[in-house]
């Protein structure tokens, strides 16, 4: 996966929802485990405390009624008894200084008999127990303890069960979320691809889902309606443009013919009379109409491969450069070429010639004498037409490819500001992007495949 594709996927709402579902499932399982483990531990502690307290209370009663001798006898009888709940008991009757008198515990643990402390301790032999101490007299104290290995095993099994079940739940939620996200992302990508193609001028059509099943079907349905309406508007616009251009161009050509006939009857010495200037104006208007029709035609055929054939671009640009050698020399300029051999593409020969010619004409028109014009071709294909002239002011670069757009330095030159618009339309018709590249001096136009 390319880095930009990975970044785009991480930013997708669909994938973020899937990741959030996975995170929530993990947190829910973790919190449920923590609550269950805490409840079980608290219940175990309460049960141990109740068992030990009950046992030590009974021994205190025995000491109160039977004295120290009876207490020692009863402790000796109980030390080997295993309680019904499986928690093995341990006892210690000792003097105030810790000297043992009875029981199986040999060392007094860190619990205060005077404060009747209780809690989890580890006996001298390494056995973990829950114990409680009690002071029976000035020089006599009692300790009762219970092992809780069985409770620890229960908690261990609970932990393993939660880990296994929790992992299964998280993986299940993750798998469902991923499959759902992939499906949603695929459907949304399909809608986006068609809308993007339509926005860039390529013919595109969304398949209408009929009866929408969800929000994405509704989005596709509305997109299909929008594209269908756009296609109708484009057809109507083209029909109107063609009709208007024909209705204007035809009478202009008739008028030009009549002016030509009038010139034959009344010649204008020097070619600067009213009839001659009128014919020149007519030819200018007709040329502008032709350029507008060409732009519309190329934009309307964007993405249409009809009429394109495999073209030896290297040979074509070499021929174009040879044709321009005379014009460049006449303008006092130098023409440098760097054309890699063997570069081919699907193209319409005359349209590519018009694209390159428009850019070369512009360079010859605006670069002062002594300058250099460069024509380069590399594999891709990548066509570069650059010069070291005055360039295009920064404030005009954003609109330089618009129809009738002319920068301040172009106003004094003849033209209608349609050459670059036509060059861009031809480039788009052939799947290329024509852009103005940043350069330290002059202008640099680059035509290369869309990405």
Q: What is the pLDDT of residues 53-70, one digit of tens each?
A: 999 999 999 999 989 999
- Axis-axis angle for helices 349-366, 313-330 (nearest 10): 30
For 139, the token pair is 């020089």
For 251, the token pair is 């009478």
Q: Assign 146 to helix, strand or coil.
A: strand
CA distance linking residue 152 with residue 161, whole number of Å: 14
DSSP H/E element including 379: none
Query: Which residues, in sequence order, are CB contacts of 195 under 8 Å at separation 6+?
Result: 204, 206, 223, 227
* Sign, Cα dihedral of 428, 433, 438, 442: negative
Q: φ, ψ for residue 167 (rounded to 5)?
A: -65, -40
Distances (CA, A) of 5 to 2, 116, 178: 5, 68, 17
What is the pLDDT at residue 1?
Answer: 46
Q: Which residues of 93-129 are buried (b: 16+ CB within 10 A; e: fewer)?
A: bbeeeeebebbbbeebbebebeeeebeebebeeeeeb
Exposed / middle / buried, residue 335 (Cβ in 10 Å: 0-12, 13-18, 19+) = buried
Query: Which residues, in sequence order, are CB contacts of 303 under 8 Å at separation 6+?
Result: 197, 201, 202, 203, 431
What is the pLDDT at residue 203?
Answer: 60
CA distance linking residue 299 with residue 200, whole number of Å: 10
Q: Which residues of the chain have pLDDT under 70?
A: 1-11, 79-85, 200-210, 270-271, 406-416
For 66, the token pair is 């039977």
Distances (CA, A) of 21 to 10, 26, 174, 263, 350: 14, 9, 7, 84, 57
Q: Assign 329 to helix, strand or coil.
A: helix
What is the pLDDT at residue 83?
Answer: 62
What is the pLDDT at residue 10?
Answer: 60
Q: Assign 25 to helix, strand or coil.
A: helix
Query: Which residues, in sequence order, are CB contacts of 6 under 8 Å at separation 6+?
Result: none
Query: Number of C-alpha atoms within 13 angstroms, CB side, residue 173?
Result: 18
- The strand pair at 309-312 and 372-378 is best described as unpaired
């Amino acid at each position: 996966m390319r880095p930009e594709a990975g970044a785009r996927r991480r930013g997708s709402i669909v994938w973020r929802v899937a990741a959030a579902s996975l995170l929530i499932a993990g947190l829910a399982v973790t919190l449920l485990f923590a609550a269950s483990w805490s409840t079980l531990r608290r219940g175990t502690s309460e049960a141990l405390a109740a068992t030990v307290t009950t046992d030590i209370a009974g021994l205190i009663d025995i000491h109160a009624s039977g004295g120290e001798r009876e207490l020692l006898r009863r402790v000796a009888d109980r030390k080997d008894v295993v309680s019904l709940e499986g928690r093995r008991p341990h006892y210690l009757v000792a003097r105030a200084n810790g000297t043992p008198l009875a029981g199986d515990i040999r060392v007094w643990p860190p619990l205060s008999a005077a404060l009747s402390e209780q809690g989890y301790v580890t006996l001298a032999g390494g056995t973990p127990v829950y114990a409680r101490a009690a002071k029976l007299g000035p020089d006599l104290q009692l300790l009762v303890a219970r092992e809780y290995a069985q409770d620890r095993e229960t908690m261990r099994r609970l932990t393993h069960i939660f880990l296994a079940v929790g992992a299964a739940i998280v993986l299940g939620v993750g798998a469902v979320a991923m499959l759902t996200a992939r499906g949603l992302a695929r459907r949304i990508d399909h809608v986006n691809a068609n809308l993007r193609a339509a926005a860039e001028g390529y013919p595109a059509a969304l398949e209408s889902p009929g009866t929408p099943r969800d929000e994405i079907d509704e989005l596709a349905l509305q997109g299909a309606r929008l594209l269908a309406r756009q296609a109708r508007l484009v057809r109507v616009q083209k029909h109107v443009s063609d009709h208007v251009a024909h209705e204007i161009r035809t009478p202009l050509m008739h008028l030009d013919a009549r002016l030509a006939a009038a010139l034959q009857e009344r010649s204008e010495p020097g070619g600067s009379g009213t009839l001659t200037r009128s014919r020149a104006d007519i030819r200018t208007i007709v040329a502008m109409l032709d350029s507008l029709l060409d732009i519309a035609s190329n934009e309307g055929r964007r993405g249409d491969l009809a009429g394109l054939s495999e073209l030896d671009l290297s040979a074509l640009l070499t021929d174009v450069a040879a044709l321009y050698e005379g014009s460049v020399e006449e303008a006092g300029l130098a023409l440098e070429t760097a054309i890699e051999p063997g570069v081919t593409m699907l193209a319409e020969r005359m349209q590519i010639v018009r694209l390159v010619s428009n850019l070369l004409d512009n360079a010859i028109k605006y670069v002062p004498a002594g300058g250099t014009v460069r024509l380069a071709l590399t594999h891709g294909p990548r066509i570069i037409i650059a010069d070291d002239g005055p360039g295009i002011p920064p404030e005009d670069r954003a609109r330089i490819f618009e129809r009738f757009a002319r920068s301040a330095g172009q106003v004094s030159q003849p033209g209608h500001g349609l050459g670059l618009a036509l060059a861009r339309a031809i480039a788009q018709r052939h799947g290329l992007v024509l852009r103005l590249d940043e350069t330290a001096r002059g202008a640099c136009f680059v035509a290369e495949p869309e990405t």
